[in-house]
């Protein structure tokens, strides 16, 4: 196998916790973060449930110590909080001691402010500062500034697979020697825009989402941010860094089937998994756990399940979707699930696929529905998005 790129730090904020530890506690104690929506006024508040971070924007501003005239969107604030944690966790004191970059991701960027002030801009000049926070790249600028990163900074936006692609690019930049260190991940805040968007597609569940269940009704949206610190072997050696895990494989493919729907047999998903296995130099027997995309939409779970069967035959590894805990956090999903994958490796534990009752009629796949302890060497994590974007990451144990 190929060792891959070292992960030396991670940070997260999600509906199930404001730190890595809190997220782990929630995942191992069935503490879910799905609730009714508090921070956004929407006519759908009675008919949807979300994975919301129960902190107001004011609380986030205070936590980050931002000045009153700041123009951070919620997306940027969540990102800054998680990225700061990651850098701290990696024991970094001087960010520019090594060639350091930031590869972030978001789906709708500062849409939370744009939708709030859209028509008001013409009446109130004090909010004009938010016009520039709309761009996808703005949240990354703010995170870069918060961390003091000045070199390579970029943002990927490939809908719900975004953060997987940010992690992938980060790993490539380290491998190519372009960077010694890179902060990678994603951030997305809940917004009316995405709530209504998924509502029009009729794939929002009015109850807790139930991945891989025959009666699944759709997804719960969520918000989150998570970042990993990736460092070159040289930095790890020089600094005597503790390696949490390795990004050992990655693959991206396009389903080329439909703008939003996944192909019947999961062509893109299959190709992404296949490429990632090849990069990692692993065989199907080596994967101990799949953190599935598992959004609980009828289309995703069928397509992903079939792709898993194509890849692994009838001996699929243990798999679960953690989205019943967090909701589907769009661009951030692959980043929080990367953190969960590392936690799985570190603690030799598989997190349960909650809310599962009835096996799907189309195949025999059964998700792991309770917490399971077993030795875990390699975790495969899937993330798929609109536009046929399919990504797979493989994380491997550090020793």
Please tell me whether residue 135 binds another protein under the rule CB under 8 A: yes
Please tell me whether residue 141 binds another protein under the rule CB under 8 A: yes
Q: Which residue has the tokens 């404001």?
A: 18
Give the whole-angstrom CA distance, residue 22 versus residue 19.
5
**3-class secondary-structure state, position 389:** strand
**3-class secondary-structure state, position 153:** strand
Please tell me whether residue 219 binds another protein under the rule CB under 8 A: no
Site for another protein in 44-103 (CB under 8 A): 44, 102
CB of 223 to another protein, least distance (A): 17
> Is 328 labeled as catalytic in the residue annotation?
yes
CB of 240 to another protein, least distance (A): 29
Instruction: Select from 13-21, 72-80, 252-260, 368-376 the region that touches another protein (CB under 8 A).
Output: 252-260
369 token code pair = 């529905």
- Comparing CB distances to another protein, the nearer of 85 and 194 is 194
**CB count in 10 Å sphere of residue 259:** 7
386 token code pair = 């609109």
**3-class secondary-structure state, position 326:** helix
Site for another protein in 325-384 (CB under 8 A): none
> Is 160 labeled as catalytic in the residue annotation?
yes
Of residues 201, 211, 224, 195, the one with CA closest to residue 47: 195
One of 44, 134, 160, 373 is an active-site residue; which one? 160
Backbone angles phi, psi at 358, to 5 degrees: -110, 125
CB of 200 to another protein, least distance (A): 4
Please tell me whether residue 255 binds another protein under the rule CB under 8 A: yes
Instruction: Select from 1-9, 29-37, 85-93, 154-162 the region that touches another protein (CB under 8 A).
Output: 154-162
Strand partners, 350: 372
Residue in 30, 31, 43, 54 binding another protein, rule: CB under 8 A: 43
Q: Which residue has the tokens 């916790």?
A: 17
Q: Evaluate whether 280 touches 45 at the Cβ level (below 8 Å).
A: no
One of 328, 373, 378, 390 is an active-site residue; which one? 328
SS (H, E, C) 8-22: EEEEEEECCECCHHH
- Catalytic sites, residue numbers: 160, 293, 328
Binding site for another protein (CB under 8 A): 42-44, 102, 106-107, 109, 111, 114-115, 118-119, 121-122, 128, 131-132, 135-138, 140-141, 144, 149-159, 165, 169, 172-173, 175-176, 178, 192-193, 196-197, 199-202, 252-261, 267-268, 271, 385-389
């Amino acid at each position: 196998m190929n060792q891959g790129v070292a992960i030396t730090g991670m940070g997260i904020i999600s509906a199930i916790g404001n730190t890595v530890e809190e997220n782990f506690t929630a995942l191992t104690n069935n503490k879910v973060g799905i609730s009714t929506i508090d921070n956004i006024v929407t006519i759908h508040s009675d008919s949807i449930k979300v994975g919301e971070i129960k902190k107001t924007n004011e609380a986030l501003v205070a936590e980050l110590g931002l000045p009153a005239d700041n123009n951070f969107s919620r997306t940027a604030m969540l990102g800054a909080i998680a990225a700061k944690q990651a850098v701290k966790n990696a024991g970094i004191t001087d960010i520019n001691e090594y060639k350091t970059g930031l590869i972030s991701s978001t789906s709708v960027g500062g849409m939370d402010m744009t939708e709030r002030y859209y028509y008001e801009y013409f009446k109130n000049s004090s909010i004009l500062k938010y016009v520039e926070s709309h761009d996808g790249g703005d949240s990354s600028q703010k995170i870069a500034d918060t961390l003091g990163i000045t070199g390579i900074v970029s943002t990927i936006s490939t809908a719900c697979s975004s953060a997987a692609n940010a992690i992938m690019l980060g790993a490539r930049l380290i491998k190519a020697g372009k960077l010694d260190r890179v902060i990678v991940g994603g951030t997305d805040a809940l917004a009316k825009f995405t709530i209504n968007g998924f509502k029009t597609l009729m794939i929002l569940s009015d109850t807790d989402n139930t991945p891989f269940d025959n009666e699944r009704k759709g997804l719960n949206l969520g918000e989150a941010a998570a970042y990993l610190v990736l460092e070159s072997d040289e930095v790890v050696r020089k600094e005597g860094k503790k390696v949490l895990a390795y990004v050992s494989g990655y693959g991206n493919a396009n389903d080329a089937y439909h703008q939003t729907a996944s192909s019947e047999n999961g062509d893109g998903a299959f190709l992404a998994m296949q490429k990632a296995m090849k990069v990692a130099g692993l065989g199907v027997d080596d994967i101990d756990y799949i953190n599935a995309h598992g959004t609980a939409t009828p289309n995703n779970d069928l397509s992903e399940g079939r792709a898993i069967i194509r890849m692994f035959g009838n001996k699929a590894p243990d798999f679960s979707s953690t989205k019943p805990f967090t909701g589907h956090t769009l661009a951030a999903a692959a980043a929080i699930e990367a953190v969960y994958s590392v936690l799985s490796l570190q603690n030799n534990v598989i997190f349960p696929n909650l809310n599962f009752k009835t096996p799907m009629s189309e195949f025999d796949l059964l998700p792991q529905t309770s917490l399971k302890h077993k030795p875990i060497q390699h975790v495969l994590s899937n993330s798929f998005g609109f536009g046929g974007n399919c990504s797979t990451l493989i994380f491997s144990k550090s020793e």
